[in-house]
Amino acid sequence: AVSVERAFGSDIIQMIINAGMMVRFILLILLCLSIISWTIIFMKWRLLRKAKQETDFFLDLFWGSSDFAKIHNECRGLLFSPISHLFKSGYSELKKISRMSPLPNSMDSNTAMNPLLDSVERSLKKTTIDQGNRLEKALSFLATTGNTAPFIGLFGTVWGIMEAFRGIGMKGSASLAVVAPGISEALIATAAGLAAAIPAVIAFNYFNQKVRVLSFEMDTFTSDFLSLVERHLFKKQMDQKK
């Protein structure tokens, strides 16, 4: 009776204190995983929320004006939006091309502009990769926690049950007073593993969907921006011919 009361104390903290060294070590690992996961969840939620807000603001600004220089000046403070970074990268490359006076000329205007468009496109692709990596940073940790935490907890449970059966063998008794404390202590590890894994999995799926939306918007903006640059270069080449 004393053992049962000791195991099933007034709160779960007492059960953790009464658990074996290996179970407590497993619980410490799971606690660290959970703390890191919740830190990532908070930071990633803030990052993606700001990225979405600034992206919406930038797109309104971009499609509301045809003056790239003005857009560039007004979006300097947009640090979270991946599309604003795309525009800054493409605009910087376009300025380098614009300093070429005159532009390369040939009988085939498309052939003349292809190297210039390729230069802008390469710059946009590099920025897209960099921004994609920034948005996806630390998401792999959430996926790893979601996949491994239940198994870590299960390992602690199996170890605890092994210790419980060892205690049964040493005492030569299989009564509830002998079995229940060890089993209950062991099951804490499984519960802790699930508590660490469930929020990580939910957050990973949620953030992954948000990143996919932003990636799609980056691809769409890249196509639209290249079309505008092509028209700009074509107009400048026609002006040179005049």
Q: What is the C-alpha to C-alpha distance for residues 56 and 51, in angstroms, rounded to an integer?
A: 9
With contact defined as beta carbons under 8 Å apart, do 83 and 58 qualify? yes
With contact defined as beta carbons under 8 Å apart, do 106 and 240 qualify? no
- pTM, two decimals, is 0.79
Taking the C-alpha atoms of 164, 170, 172 and 176 in order, what is their torsion angle to the nearest 10 degrees? -30
Residue 185: the pLDDT is 73
Q: What is the C-alpha to C-alpha distance for residues 208 and 211, in angstroms, rounded to an integer?
A: 5
138: left (phi over 0), alpha (psi -120 to 50) or beta: left
Q: What is the C-alpha to C-alpha distance for residues 75 and 155, in angstroms, rounded to an integer?
A: 52
Q: What is the pLDDT of residues 119-159, one digit of tens each?
A: 888 889 999 999 999 999 999 999 999 999 999 999 988 88
| Distances in whole angstroms, Cα of residue 209 to Cα of each of 8, 202, 203 | 42, 11, 10
Residue 234: the pLDDT is 66
Q: What is the pLDDT of residues 191-242, one digit of tens each?
A: 899 999 999 999 999 999 999 999 999 999 999 888 888 877 666 665 555 5
Closest CA to 182 of 201, 167, 194: 167
